[in-house]
Structure 1
Amino acid sequence: MLLTKKYKIKPTSEQLDVLWKLSKRCTLLYNLSLSERKEAWKHERKSIKYSHQQDNLPSLKDQYPSIYSLYSKTCQGVLQKLDANYKSFFGLRKNGDKNAKPPRFKKSVYFFTIPYNQSGFKIENGKIIFSHKYNNRPISFNIPQELENYDVKHTEIFNSEPYKGKGDFFVSVVYETFPQTNYKDNEKNQAIDLGITKTITAVNTDGKILEITNPRFDKYWDKKINQAKSRRDHCKKYSHRWFRINDAIRVMTKKKNNQIKDWQHKLSRKMVDNTRLNTIIVGDLDVKDMTNSKKLPKSRQKSLNRSTQNNGYISRFIEFLTYKSEFAGKQLTKIDESYTSKICYVCGKVHDMPLYKRNLSCDCGNEIDRDKNSAINIMIRYLSQNAIWTGYRQFACNLRQTGLLTFDVYKIHPMDDMNTRRNLHA
């Protein structure tokens, strides 16, 4: 598996000048390649692939000699970024996202991430050295000496706030590693329902419920950021006072994002280390669609969108949990979580559950928090889809012992066929 480590660097004024020169040449190469693709599609309805643009790199360098200052692998990395942006755009459109937009031209005022793929860098004596042909000034930065023992595959130089390079500079190092142990199914599973107020609502095969409340760093910082924005809007734009308040807003936003990310890292680490369960099941969330419900008023959509995005991106937490589980020899599985909050896990009846309704009350006598109900349904769906009937019945018995099920064991409705379920309750 591939992991990434990020190291903060402090370039000197001479190194900073070289980095900006290389960044502008990367921007030029990116824009020329993007223009070629747009023109080919506009006039010939023809799609240009990465391999074609890579083969034409020598002729492009002859037309624009300044590109020669870039290392060859850096040029290929820029083209790969453009190709990845197009693939992402086509993928979003294919999945029905009509708001997806094709790649745009880059402005030289933004610091372009400088990639080095496979070669062009050397790690020795606690330093990482990058190759370039702009001048004879070396680009080298101090990094931990332990990195010399890693199998490094890719490196990048980037800025945390690309606009005018106002943020900190970092070196990103991608290296190959192997899991500590191989995955082995021990028939112990944990199903997780992700949310905003309660980030985690989980149930394991023993029927025990785990709930973790989100500290909501965004609410603390958003209040201060909004007050600062209000003060900034009353200032003359681009005045000394305007810039001072704007810098304060950037600092507060950075602190908010760092706190959320740090909390997600620590939580995912605790969940992986402090459990004997080898299989983790989560719902396959589409965070974008969470706020696109036509039943919600626009004001509610805006509020929900802000909560899901400012909360550190729920999907990002899943990615943290995924790679840490894999490294620890465990497995994370995603399954469809449609209707898991609306279906009674006992009888299978579908209820109308708007977001403000936090408890499910069913005619069969089942009353339960909607997040707990969703987590149990995710577990049942996973067990039934994988035909783990012994685990399915054992899970039902464990729910009875924990008091979450007071009915006959075999009344729990399997979740493997949604069409049958809809026909049954039509």
Structure 2
Amino acid sequence: MIIIEFKAYGKKHQYQAIDEAIRTVRFIRNSCIRLWMDNKGTGKYDLSKYCKVLAKQFSFANELNSTARQAAAERAWSSIARFYDNCQKKVPGKKGFPKFQKHCRSVEYKQSGWKLSPDNKSIIFSDKKGIGKLKLKGKWHVWRFDKKQIKRVRIVRRADGYYVQFCVSVEINEKLKPTGNTVGLDVGLKNFYTDSDGNVEPNPRFYRTGEKRLKFYQRRFFRKKKGSSNRSKAINKLGRAHLKISRQREEHAKRLARCVIQSNDLVAYEDLRVKNLVKNHCLAKSINDAGWYQFRKWLEHFGTKFGRSTVAVNPAYTSQNCSQCSEVVKKSLSTRTHTCKCGCQLDRDHNAAINILERALSTAGHVGTWIIDPNACGDLASTVLGSDQVEQAGSMKQESPRL
């Protein structure tokens, strides 16, 4: 399954129609959440049936395509199912009880309500919202795929305009020649990562670099009168600045992950719980700015695509244990050099990267993502990304909270 994205161009009334469709999606999703709250035992199919009831009661809901209404109900059920899953797993802390959505940025169609134009440069939305024909600009040619392979079409609103995304059911697998190399990665704040060979990748710190400009736009935003057009323009400027930083961070993580995967047969990295790490208010901004989650996500994606082994290792004591004699050498975070009585003297991160690789080599030959716990016994079990790892905390917004 791949996502192909195009920039969409239209007229002002078409953009207003897209905004109205997005508001309708938010209304249906929140109505389904309310139905679930008020009626015990409400299931996924009950929410899907409720969409038809909403369409009969409200004319603006009836104007939206039926598959788009069903997709909105599926969004509601996904938040409910996640809450049930967290309760069943007994996740510590808040379980993520479904909340009413205040801001929504996309509307999703299934395999009806749209069609590609014959000129291969635009898409036509045929529901009663009046979106009509949108011109598309992008590099991928979605028209080379069969229409049956396009499972979803989504219109996304961002600070710099509107985008159309196509979810295409196709598998892309590329086989690379074995390199005979293995590497362990230790991510950090001073350097983005240090590998087991001693190579260092600097941390670009995109948010820190653009923070001065962000504060400038924030001051301009708060000085404008509420409800004025100037305030809306200031919000858009702020959103564009946040969007640029998020794209820089994502592209940086993607580029590095691709290079690492293509150069090594096995890549080992730390199984970090970013949600717990950002509880340290002194380091939270720097941790979010580093983008460790994005880096891991792309490592696993390219590992699957190119048939490479990716191994997630429990990071416990990787910095304290000596990579030569396995002796525990306790050190604080301020101590950046590992010095052992056996004569081993390495950079702290380099020593940790070697330990990470050594723990991962026990699973050499397995393709996929594995979590290695040195204190556990028995067979190893694979894990899907997102099953027990939580994404980065939301304090570092990828985009402006409002558009």
TM-score (norm 1): 0.75
Distance of 2:229 and 2:135 partners within structure 1: 34
SS for the counterpart of 2:330 is coil
Could you tell me whether the CA contact under 8 Å between 2:313 and 2:373 is conserved in 1?
Answer: no
The amino acid that maps onto 2:97 is P
Cα offset, 1:258, TM superposition: 2.6
Residues 314-362 of structure 1, C-alpha deviation per residue, up to 9 Å, x if partnerless?
1112112222232233232323222212222223233434322222223
Alignment CA distance shift 1:353-1:83 (3 Å):
farther
Q: Distance in 2 between matches of 1:245 and 1:143?
A: 27
Describe the SS at the equivalent of 2:42: coil
Q: Which runs of 5+ in 1 are unaligned?
A: 41-45, 162-166, 293-300, 389-414, 421-426
Is the alpha carbon distance of 1:326 and 1:36 closer, same or farther for their aligned partners in structure 2, counting shifts above 3 Å? same
Q: Which has the higher helix share?
A: 1
In structure 1, which of residues 226, 250, 259 is the aligned counterpart of residue 248 of structure 2?
259
Alpha carbons of structure 1 residues 288 and 73: separation in structure 2 relative to 1, 3 Å: same
2:385 maps to what in 1?
none
Aligned to 2:281: 302
- Aligned position for 1:175: 168
Aligned to 1:24: 23
Residue 160 of structure 1 aligns with which residue? 158
Tell me how far 1:366 sits from its aligned partner. Answer: 2.3
Indicate the SS of the match to 2:252: helix
Letter of the structure 2 residue corresponding to residue 33 of structure 1: C
* Aligned amino acid, residue 201 of structure 1: T
Q: Higher relative contact order by CA 8 Å / sep ≥ 6: 1 or 2? A: 2
* CA positional deviation for 1:387: 9.6
What is the distance in 1 between the residues matched to 2:200 and 2:85? 35
Structure 1 residue corresponding to 2:355, chosen from 356, 377, 380: 377
- Do the aligned partners of residues 227 and 322 (structure 1) sit closer, same or farther apart at CA in structure 2, a change above 3 Å counting? same
Alignment partner, residue 101 of structure 2: 106
2:326 paired with 1:331: no
Give 1:20 deviation, angstroms.
2.3
Match of 1:195 among 182, 188, 202: 188
Secondary structure of 1:267's aligned partner = helix
- Equivalent of 1:70, from 57, 64, 68? 64
How far apart are 1:169 and its partner, in Å?
1.0
Distance across 1 between alignment mates of 2:321 and 2:94:
31
Amino acid at match of 2:288: Q
Cα pair 2:254 2:298 within 8 Å, conserved: yes
Read off the aligned partner of 1:283 and give its amino acid letter. E
Secondary structure of 2:283's partner? helix
CA distance in 1, matches of 2:345, 2:95: 41
TM-score by length of 2: 0.79
Per the TM alignment, residue 368 of structure 1 is displaced from its structure 2 partner at its CA by 1.9
Q: Secondary structure at the match of 1:281?
A: strand
Q: 2:322 aligns with which of 341, 344, 354?
A: 344
The CA distance in 2 between the partners of 1:349 and 1:33, in whole Å, is: 57
Match in the other structure for 1:297: none
Q: In structure 1, what is the equivalent of residue 124 of structure 2? A: 129
**Counterparts of 2:172 and 2:16, CA distance in 1:** 41
The Cα offsets for residues 46-67 of structure 1, whole Å up to 9 and x where unpaired, read as 3422122123433343233432
The code of the aligned residue for 1:132 comes to D
Q: 2:296 aligns with which of 306, 315, 318?
A: 318
Matched, 1:365 2:343: yes
Query: Structure 1 pair 237/19, CA: closer, same or farther in 2 (3 Å)?
Result: closer
Please tell me whether the aligned partners of residues 111 and 158 of structure 1 are also in contact (alpha carbons under 8 angstroms): no
CA distance in 1, matches of 2:283, 2:325: 31
- Could you tell me how far apart the structure 2 residues matched to 1:174 and 1:57 are? 23
> Which aligned segments of 4 or more residues in structure 1 are displaced greater than 6 angstroms?
183-186, 239-244
Check conservation: 1:33, 1:53, Cα contact below 8 A. yes
How far, CA to CA, are the matches of 1:146 and 1:347 in structure 2?
Answer: 55
Q: Give the structure 2 partner of residue 34 of structure 1.
A: 33
**SS of equivalent to 2:194:** strand
State the Cα distance separating 1:183 from its structure 2 match.
7.6
Task: Give yes or no for contact 2:9–2:136 (8 Å, CA) kept in 1.
Answer: no
What's the C-alpha RMSD, in Å, of the aligned pairs? Answer: 3.1
